[in-house]
Amino acid sequence: MKTTTKLLLCLAAAVLPALASAESTPSADYARYCVWCHGAQGTGRGPSAARLTPVPRDFRAAQFRCRTTPSGSLPTDDDLRTAIRRGMPGTAMPSWAALSDRQLADLLATLKAFSPAWGKKGPGTPIVVPPEPPGTAESVQRGHAVYDKMGCATCHGPSGHGDGPAASTLRDDQGNPIRPADFTVPGGLKCGDSPERVYTTFMTGLNGTPMPSFDGQLGPAEAWDLVHFVASLREQ
C-alpha cells in the first residue's frame, strides 16, 4: 500500500505541473490566428503590433469596446463572438466569420485566461434596446440638436468626419492615440452601423476609450433621434 501511495504521489508531482502549464498555454487557434497581433500572453504586443494603428487590444486589461452590456462591465460571450466574427472596421482586426463554434469557444477561453477580471465577476446584463421609432426628417432634426447638446462635434466634427478639434489629442486607456469614428463611411463603425448597434454603442459607451456611455444623460427617444441623425451623415 505504501509503495502504491508513493507511486501515485510521484505521478501527481509529474503530471500536475504539466496540466497547469497546458491550461495557461494559448489554444492552437489563438496561436494560429491571434498571436501575431495580440501576443502570446495577450499583451497586445505581438510581432506585428508596432506597425499597427490603432494598436491591438491588450486582453489583460479586460476592456472591451463592442458590448451590449453597461459601461465598465464585461461583455457577454455573444458579444465576444460577434466581435471576432465581424472584425473591427478601421483596424487591422479582420473578420473571422469562417471559424467554427468550437474554435470560437477555444478563443474565448484563451482570452479570458489573460485577465483575472473574468474570475472575479461575470459579464454584465445586456441593456434593453427599445423598438426603433420611424426615422423621419423631424427625428433627424431633433438628433442634430442632441448631437450638438452632447458635444459630439468636439471629437467627431460638425459633419461627422471624425475631424473635430479634439480628434488629434485623443488617447485610449493605455495612452495610445485613437481616432474618433467617421460617421460618413458606410460600414466603418467598429461595433456595426445597424440602427440597433449604434443605439447600443451610444448607451453603453466604448470601454477603454474616450467615448462615454450616454445612459442616464439621454432617454431612449433622444438616443434614437441621435441614431437617425448619425445615419443621415452616412455617404450613400
Give the domain ranges of the chain: 28-120, 137-233
Report pLDDT digits (tens) over 155-210. Answer: 999 999 999 999 999 999 999 999 999 999 999 999 999 999 999 999 999 999 99
192: left (phi over 0), alpha (psi -120 to 50) or beta: left
| Residues shown for the chain | 236
Q: Output the CATH code of domain 28-120.
A: 1.10.760
Report pLDDT digits (tens) over 202-235. Answer: 999 999 999 999 999 999 999 999 999 999 999 7
| pLDDT band, residue 23 (cuts 50/70/90) | very low
- Asked if 70 contacts 176 with a C-beta cutoff of 8 angstroms, the reply is no
What's this model's pTM, rounded to 2 decimal places?
Answer: 0.86
Share of the chain above pLDDT 90, in %: 86
Report the C-alpha gap between 41 and 59 in whole angstroms: 8
Report the C-alpha gap between 111 and 101 in whole angstroms: 15
CATH superfamily of 137-233: Cytochrome c-like domain (1.10.760.10)
Nearest to 92 by CA among 35, 51, 59, 42: 51
Q: Is-same-fold flag (28-120; 137-233)?
A: yes
Report pLDDT digits (tens) over 69-122. Answer: 999 999 999 999 999 999 999 899 999 999 999 999 999 999 999 999 999 999
Gyration radius of the chain over CA positions: 22
Report the C-alpha gap between 134 and 228 in whole angstroms: 9
